[in-house]
Amino acid sequence: MSTLPEKIEKAFKEAIAQLPQRVLWKYEGEMKDKPTNVMTKKWFPQRDILLHPKVKLFISHGGISGMYEAVDAGIPVLGFPIFYDQPRNMANLVDIGMAISMDLFSVTKETLFDAINKIINDETYTKNAKEISIQFKDRHMSPAETVVYWTNYVIRHKGAPHLKLQALKLSWYQFFLLDVISVIVFPLLFILYILFKLNRIFFRDIKKFFKIKQN
C-alpha cells in the first residue's frame, strides 16, 4: 500500500477511519495521518490472525496463498486483484458468495466504506465463508497425511512413472509445436509463392501488351 498513488491510500485511510472496528494494516514505513483505529506493521502473522474468532473481514489483493488461508479460516474477503492469478482467484470467491471484488485504481472512500460495511453487516458473506471452509476441510486425510502418503507412494512404485505426463516424452520439435507450425506455415508460404509468380506473369504480360500497343 505504501507504494500506491496517494489518492488511493487516502481513500483507504478515510474509509477505514469511519469504521468502529480495529484494523490491522500491513504497511511499509511510517504512515502519515494514520487513523486511530489502525495498527500498522511491516509483517503480521496472517494465518494466525485470520483464525482469530473476532476477525470479520480480510482485505487482500487476491494472491492464492492468502485466499487458501481465508477459505480455511472461513473469513469473507474484500479483494483488489491487480495481475497474474489474482483476478481469477477473486472471481472464484465472488462466485461462491464469500467475497466482493473491486478495482483498486478507481476506488473511492464511499465505495470502499460501502463494500466493507456490506460484507461485515450482511451475514450471508460470513455464512457462505464458513460453509466453504467446512467443505474445504472435509477430506479423508489431512494435508500433512496426504504429503506423507504420496511421498511413500512414489517411493513404493519407483518414481511412479505411470503417473507422469505424456508431455514429458515429447521430442524438442513437438514441445515447441514446430510440427504444428510447419503444417500451417508451409502451405501459406506455398500459396504466397504461387501468388507471387502469377503476379509477375501478370505484370510481364501487361508490359508486353502496352509495348505492342505503342508500336
Domain boundaries, the chain: 6-138, 141-167, 170-214
79 CB contacts (<8 Å, ≥6 apart)? Answer: 59, 60, 61, 62, 86, 89, 90, 93, 94, 99, 100, 101, 102
Q: What is the pLDDT of residue 177?
A: 85
Quote the CA–CA distance of 83 and 80 in Å, as a whole number: 10
DSSP state of 30: P
pLDDT of residue 179: 84
Architecture (CATH level 2) of domain 6-138: 3-Layer(aba) Sandwich (3.40)
Beta strands in the chain (DSSP E): 23-26, 38-41, 58-60, 77-79, 99-101
For the chain of 215 residues, list the mean pLDDT of each consecutive stretch of 10: 84 93 91 90 93 94 93 95 92 95 92 94 95 92 91 94 84 84 89 87 73 64
- Residue 156 has what pLDDT? 95
pTM, entire model = 0.68
